[in-house]
A = this chain, B = another copy of it.
Amino acid sequence: MKMDSRLILALDETDVPKALHVLDEVCGIIDAVKINWPLILSAGPEIITTLSQKADVICDFKIADIPNTDRLIIEQSVKRGASGVIVHAFTGTDSLKECVSAAGGRDVFVVTEMSHPGGQEFTAKHAEEFAAMAAECGASGLIAPATRPERIKKIKESAPGLLILSPGVGAQGGSASNAVLNGADYVIVGRSIYGSSDPKDAAQKLADEIKALRF
Contacts and interface: CB of A to CB of B under 8 A. Distances in A.
Interface string A166-208: 0000000000000000000000000000000000000000000
A116 interface: yes
A157 interface: no
Nearest to A92: B118
B90 A116 contact: no
A117 B88 contact: no
A44 interface: yes
Given A36-B69, A41-B73, A44-B46, 18 more contacts: A37-B73, A40-B45, A42-B76, A44-B44, A62-B65, A64-B64, A66-B115, A67-B116, A90-B121, A91-B114, A91-B118, A92-B114, A92-B116, A92-B120, A92-B122, A93-B121, A95-B118, A122-B126
Interface string A1-44: 00000000000101000000000000000000000111011101
A93 B73 contact: no
A72 B118 contact: no
The residue among A38, A44, A73, A88 with the most chain B CB atoms within 10 A of its own CB is A38
B38 A40 contact: no
Contacts of A105: none
5 contacts: A41-B77, A66-B118, A92-B123, A96-B118, A122-B126
